[in-house]
Amino acid sequence: MSLAQSAEETKAVIAEIGRAIDEAALTPFQILVLTLIGLTIVLDGFDAQAVGLAAPLLMSEFNLTKLQLAPIFAVGLVGMTLGAALGGMVGDKWGRKTALIASAFIFGSLTLAMAVPAPFPVLLALRFLAGFGLGGALPNATALTGEFSPARYRSFAISISILCIPLGGILGGTIATTLLPMGGWRALFIAAGALPLFIAGILYIFLPESPKFLAIKHGRGPALEKIISRLKITVGVSGAGLDRGNAAAGQDDSPGFFSPVIFKKDSYALWGSFFFCLLAVYLGYNWLPAMLTGAGFSPQVASVGLISFNMGGVIGALIGAALLARFGSKILGVIALAGAIGAVIPLVHPLTPAWSSSSLMFYLGFEGGCTSGLQVVLYALAAHLYPTEARARGVGSASGLGRVGAIVSTYVGAAALSELADKGFFIVVVGCLIATSVAIYIVGNHIPGRQTSGPALKPELS
């Protein structure tokens, strides 16, 4: 049998697996898989915001100004940026399961190491390396979620998995209220590091590999047959002759990172939406408490404000996912515009302690929904744009470009607050969300809504 024939059989098996999963009911096995992925991303979100939660104590212990503390945010985000791209490549080459476990182990162990007494430059180095794991988890979680979900649930499932990032921030904030007064910032880092190591062990035991990845790399062998059985699906294509010896045929079809499959017009638009949306999101994560205290609110109100921002992200992602399923992914541009309009309000009516607590928290929740919540749903669009063999790399590239926006937010936020205080903060938010909306509308191959007539430009999961 020739390699060309083997490659065609591989494609046939992949297509048949996708068809069978799309048409089958959601099984308890798939719910277990999606739950494990979600728990991993919850801990990713917790770890990603751990430094922000510990920032006041870090500044006190190491006698740092805000400007001197900023590099620990920046180096972590640089690590996430590189880790997102590298994690996607690792996932496409060695498996989504392997890459996800490695990511959890990396950010867990290195965050745990940050709890050991050391000079501040050592903490910077550890945070940079931990960022590789934090960034690498997302593209592989997205790819696995998409490849285990039936088509009718896929966008919602991907949105829910990424939704776990703000849930992790809420979890971290809740844990911090207990651990920081009792054990200081090191106790928080012990929790933020030990929990991912525990979940990495659980993933190793219970998390299966993507069936489509197994078909591409190893053909229809025992590992794939076991997963097909647990999914309770029937795959009609035999794939006879697809074995490890012919796996190269599947590898030959896998595009490289710089392939036109990834570097295309829709990718550029997607990268723009990720860049500007994550700039706005991390502006909130890193600088919202400082903006609120600078506007005259107490530190306690500022902390609750960040929790409200995260809660808004959770609710906004759920609403956004439902709207996406109903109307298609163009609706995401409308959500971004709504956030931009909302960010104009403090420019007209500045934030002061005269705002009632309920009004302030509702407003911050709304902006969290239009930024953090929007970013969650953007991952569904990212997963839609790429075929199976390039999905982790495609999503990883978008996530990586988004992290560049997050890095920029560290310094843009400092400059905006220094020059224009809270007005500067919201001017940046307005600009970012308008740019996000424009980038979303430039995308040509949107996820169709239920009311869309005619065939989609391509199936959501190739």
Question: Strand pairing partners for 328?
Answer: 448
H-type alpha helices, 149-264: 151-206, 211-218, 222-231, 247-252
Rounded Cα distance, 207 and 276, in Å: 33
CA atoms within 13 A on the CB side of 302: 19
CA atoms within 13 A on the CB side of 365: 15
Residue where the block lists tokens 């999905």: 391
Q: Domain 1-253 adopts which CATH fold?
A: Growth Hormone; Chain: A; (1.20.1250)
CB atoms within 10 A of CB 300: 8
Same fold, 1-253 and 255-462: yes
Is residue 215 a contact partner of residue 13, using CB atoms and an 8 Å limit? yes
Closest CA to 37 of 96, 88, 77, 90: 96
DSSP type of residue 246? G
Closest CA to 6 of 222, 218, 226: 218
Is residue 296 a contact partner of residue 305, using CB atoms and an 8 Å limit? no
Closest CA to 290 of 421, 179, 165: 421
AA identity, residue 174: T
Q: How far is CA 215 from the centre of its chain?
A: 26
Closest CA to 195 of 133, 307, 258, 107: 107
CA atoms within 13 A on the CB side of 347: 14
Distances in Å between the Cα of 331 and the Cα atoms of 14, 15, 205, 394, 456 are: 31, 29, 39, 22, 16
> What pLDDT shows up at residue 237?
55
CA angle 421, 425, 429 (to 5 degrees): 165
What would the 3-class secondary structure string for 305-321 be? Answer: HHHHHHHHHHHHHHHHH
CA angle 247, 250, 256 (to 5 degrees): 125
AA identity, residue 113: A
Query: pLDDT averaged over consecutive 10-residue blocks of the chain (462 residues)?
Result: 55 77 84 93 89 78 81 88 84 90 96 93 95 90 87 78 82 82 89 96 93 76 81 64 38 48 74 94 84 78 82 90 87 95 92 88 94 88 76 76 86 82 90 95 83 43 37
Closest CA to 266 of 462, 402, 398: 398
Closest CA to 66 of 47, 49, 52: 52
> What pLDDT shows up at residue 128?
95
pTM: 0.74
Burial of 63 from C-beta contacts in 10 A (0-12 / 13-18 / 19+) = exposed
Q: Where are the domains of the chain?
A: 1-253, 255-462
Rounded Cα distance, 297 and 279, in Å: 24
> What pLDDT shows up at residue 14?
75
How many secondary structure helices (H) and strands (E) does the chain include? 16, 0
Rounded Cα distance, 257 and 155, in Å: 24
Tokens found for residue 46: 């917790």
Rounded Cα distance, 341 and 83, in Å: 34
Tokens found for residue 338: 């709504």
> What pLDDT shows up at residue 251?
43
255-462: CATH superfamily:
MFS general substrate transporter like domains (1.20.1250.20)
Q: Helix (H, G, I), strand (E, B), or coil: what is residue 6? A: helix
Rounded Cα distance, 258 and 264, in Å: 10
> What pLDDT shows up at residue 204?
95
Closest CA to 275 of 177, 204, 375, 195: 375
Rounded Cα distance, 364 and 310, in Å: 9
